[in-house]
């Protein structure tokens, strides 16, 4: 097994760079959907298609030393922060060469060396982790910021509200990013969220703005302002990014043929596709598309050739220190 | 030689841990005031940036500690009431404990959760009287229940230095204990049991504050039965070698455990001993009843806790 193809650090500072990353996320999850149907991905995925502008706009505002916590729909965040698509694909396919050595899969993808503290399978669970990480980094004298992604479904999780309060009273350098895609699985936000996302933040005196989550530049501008304020000691910020997921909540949804969204609604949002919106402004778009396609082909070939984990290692990595296995019980 | 109280031992362990390592911090409710005892005076000595008074947001500050650990700190979280652990089971078991495995070994999560006053305190009723260590053993979280002041010191030092999440239960009924010590007690490695009294007829494994009661019962029965008393000190990892060695001598087992019976810690020890064929008589457990919730009135509370008389009868039955 050769090493993974080298992953250049993403350059999200220009429109072309942001377009390249959005294209990568789009093609990555399109490929992941194919792999899921082909049985290469155990358990399925939560596709990020349609929401690319949020991950890319926010991560464009982050410095390399900044961190993020992610959600069960995390591929976009993980890629935009610079994770190697080949190793992420290997992780989705449950390979030892994956980002998490095949121990995490889609819902727990992490590359801590890049500040990616992990996608999280529990809705809203990353919020307080983000606040603690941000507080500790500041104590150590680092001027880093933590971006905390969550969906509209998390707006009703107690721990998220507790985390907003804690960030506010401790002035933790956290930027809360609500990806409001309109649905918590099948439940419309209108039927679930009493008050509003911005109202949640306002209640804890956290400055909040709503942005068009289908516009990477708009997300970037708002994120850059919140990140700069947090970095300079101004405390947490909150972005509500109004966006949409083109696919189902989870790949299982396709098999169930759920009809909680009208075709017209999906079609309407597809006319606001964040890639289509940016593409006319990128003269080299064709070249970028071809380059991304080539990169993904290589990544896919590498990931599929990667060996599967040895079952003898199923008990590894549970503890940093011991404890030894109980005699007579394996592993 | 000085007297060391159990509460003072926890307090000294925290202070010494903080003095030894600037990454150690303490957080929880009323820790600045030291309301529960173990954090008394720490904020004055180490400042409010290392001894953090938290809002009543247990779920948030539990995961806050995890995030701080991921950024290089070694937080100690204090919960004043054992039942709060039910509220933060998600954060401890599903987040802190699973992070390392789920990331394929990318992270260490050195957080210590301290629960002073676990188990029954007379009059504290249904929601303040649980002793839920078995839940954490079941989930695989490192779980410590010191029985004596010197061990409380040594085990807390070891827990703070450990690179994994550890939950330390300080039983309410043990916190008044005092012990003669010379100098600072040594750290106690997690997973090492302590043979508190050698014997030849029956092994009594007692957990936490029940160790002292088991020793008293062993004294009472001295002319009649030779009782060996084993204090596991840590329930996960458990010192299986110590239990096996003891049972090879006595071939009889009684577990004295202040927790509910069904799927409890005592059941695990009985099962392990039976599986290994180490017993020549039916083993016994003396525990709270199945699914017990402690009632308010002191007589009712006491009636559901394991009693020395029950232990005495169980020991006699085991050797019959």
Residue B13 touches chain A, beta carbons under 8 Å: no
ipTM of the assembly?
A: 0.93
Cα-atom radius of gyration of chain B, to the nearest Å?
19
Q: Which of A98, A132, A162 sits opposite B65 (nearest CB)?
A: A132
**List of chain B residues whose C-beta atoms are within 8 Å of the C-beta of residue A319:** 100, 142, 164
Share of chain A above pLDDT 70, in %: 95
A320·B240 Cβ contact <8 A: no
Residue A330: per-residue pLDDT = 46
Interface touch B101/A318, C-beta < 8 Å? yes
Q: What is the pTM of this model?
A: 0.95
Residue to test with chain A: of B89, B102, B107, B166, most A Cβ within 10 A = B102
Q: What is the mean pLDDT of chain A?
A: 94
Cβ proximity of B158 and B150 under 8 Å: no
Interface membership of A190 toward B (CB under 8 Å) = no
CB B218 within 8 A of CB B197: yes
Instruction: Residue A331: count other Cβ atoms within 10 Å of its Cβ.
Output: 10
Structure tokens at A208: 């909040």
Q: How many CA atoms are closer than 13 Å to the CA of B236, on its beta-carbon side?
A: 20
The whole-number pLDDT of residue B122 equals 87
The residue to which tokens 């101004």 are assigned: A234
pLDDT digits (tens), chain B, 320 positions = 688 999 999 999 999 999 999 999 999 999 999 999 999 999 999 999 999 999 999 999 999 999 999 999 999 999 999 999 999 999 999 999 999 999 999 999 999 999 999 999 989 999 999 999 999 999 999 999 999 999 999 999 999 999 999 999 999 999 999 999 988 899 999 999 999 999 999 999 999 999 999 999 999 999 999 999 999 999 999 999 999 999 999 999 999 999 999 999 999 999 999 999 999 999 999 999 999 999 999 999 999 999 999 999 999 999 98
- Residue B108 in contact with partner chain A when CB distance is under 8 A: yes
Residues of B in contact with A67 (CB under 8 A): 71
Catalytic residue ranges of B:
128
Query: Quick one: DSSP state of residue A326?
Result: P
Cα B97 to Cα B103: distance, rounded to the nearest angstrom:
11
Burial track A183-195 (b if 16+ CB lie within 10 A, e otherwise): bbeeeebeeebee
> Which residues does B50 contact at the CB level (< 8 Å), separation at least 6?
B18, B24, B25, B26, B42
CB-CB contact of B175 with B221 (8 Å): no
By C-alpha distance, which of B57, B15, B58 is closest to B34?
Answer: B15
In this complex, the residue of B57, B68, B101 whose CB is nearest that of residue A133 is B68
SS (H, E, C) A71-110: CCCCHHHHHHCCCCHHHHHHHHCCCCCCCCCCCCCHHHCC
CB proximity B46 to A under 8 Å: no
Question: Can you say whether residue B239 is alpha, beta or left, with left for phi > 0 and alpha for psi between -120 and 50 degrees?
Answer: beta
Q: Which residues of A touch B70 (CB under 8 A)?
A: 112, 117, 129, 132-133, 136
């Amino acid at each position: 097994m050769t090493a993974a193809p080298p992953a250049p650090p993403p350059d999200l500072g220009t429109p072309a760079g942001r377009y390249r990353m959005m294209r990568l996320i789009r093609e990555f999850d399109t490929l992941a959907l194919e792999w899921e149907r082909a049985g290469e991905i155990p358990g399925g995925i939560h596709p990020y298609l349609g929401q690319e502008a949020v991950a890319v706009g926010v991560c464009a505002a982050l410095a390399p030393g900044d961190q993020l916590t992610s959600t069960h729909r995390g591929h976009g965040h993980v890629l935009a922060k610079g994770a190697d698509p080949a190793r992420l694909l290997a992780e989705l396919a449950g390979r030892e060469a994956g980002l998490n050595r095949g121990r995490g899969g889609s819902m727990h993808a992490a590359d801590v060396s890049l500040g990616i503290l992990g996608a999280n399978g529990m809705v809203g669970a990353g919020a307080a982790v983000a606040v603690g990480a941000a507080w500790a980094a500041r104590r150590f004298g680092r001027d880093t910021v933590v971006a905390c992604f969550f969906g509209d479904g998390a707006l009703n999780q107690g721990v998220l509200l507790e985390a907003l309060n804690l960030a506010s009273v401790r002035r933790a350098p956290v930027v809360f990013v609500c990806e409001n895609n309109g649905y918590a699985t099948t439940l419309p936000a209108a039927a679930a969220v009493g008050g509003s996302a911005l109202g949640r933040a306002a209640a804890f005196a956290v400055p909040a703005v709503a942005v068009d989550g289908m516009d990477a530049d708009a997300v970037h501008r708002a994120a850059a302002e919140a990140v700069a304020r947090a970095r300079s000691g101004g405390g947490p910020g909150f972005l509500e990014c109004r966006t949409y997921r083109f696919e189902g909540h989870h790949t299982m949804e396709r098999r169930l043929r759920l009809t909680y969204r009208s075709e017209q609604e999906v079609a309407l949002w597809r006319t606001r596709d964040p890639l289509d919106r940016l593409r006319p402004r990128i003269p080299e778009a064709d070249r970028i598309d071809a380059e991304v396609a080539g990169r993904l082909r290589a990544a896919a070939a590498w990931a599929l050739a990667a060996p599967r984990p040895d079952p003898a290692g199923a008990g590894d990595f549970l503890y940093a220190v011991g404890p030894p296995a109980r005699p007579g019980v394996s592993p | 030689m000085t007297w060391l109280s159990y509460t003072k031992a926890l307090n000294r362990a925290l202070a010494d841990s903080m003095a030894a390592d600037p990454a150690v911090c303490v957080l929880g409710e009323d820790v600045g005031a030291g309301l529960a005892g173990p954090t008394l005076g720490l904020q004055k000595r180490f400042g409010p940036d290392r001894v953090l008074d938290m809002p009543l947001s247990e779920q948030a500050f539990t995961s806050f500690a995890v995030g701080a650990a991921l950024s290089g700190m070694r937080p100690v979280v204090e919960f004043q009431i054992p039942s709060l652990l039910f509220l933060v089971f998600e954060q401890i078991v599903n987040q802190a404990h699973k992070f390392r495995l789920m990331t394929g070994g990318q992270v260490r999560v050195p957080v210590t959760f301290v629960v002073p006053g676990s188990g029954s305190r007379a009059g504290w009723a249904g929601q303040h009287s649980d002793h839920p260590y078995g839940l954490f053993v079941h989930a695989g979280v490192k779980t410590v229940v010191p029985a004596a002041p010197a061990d409380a010191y040594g085990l807390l030092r070891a827990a703070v230095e450990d690179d994994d999440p550890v939950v330390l239960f300080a039983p309410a009924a043990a916190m008044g204990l005092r012990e003669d010590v010379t100098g600072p007690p040594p750290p106690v490695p997690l997973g090492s049991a302590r043979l508190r009294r050698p014997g030849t007829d029956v092994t009594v494994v007692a957990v936490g504050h029940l160790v002292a009661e088991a020793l008293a019962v062993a004294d009472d029965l001295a002319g009649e039965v030779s009782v060996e008393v084993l204090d596991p000190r840590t329930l996960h990892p458990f010192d299986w070698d110590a239990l096996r060695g003891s049972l090879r001598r006595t071939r009889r087992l009684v577990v004295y455990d202040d927790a509910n019976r069904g799927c409890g810690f005592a059941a695990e020890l009985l099962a392990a001993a039976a599986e290994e064929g180490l017993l020549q008589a039916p083993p016994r457990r003396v525990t709270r009843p199945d699914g017990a919730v402690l009632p308010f009135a002191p007589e009712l509370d006491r009636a559901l806790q394991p009693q020395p008389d029950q232990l005495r009868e169980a020991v006699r039955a085991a050797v019959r």
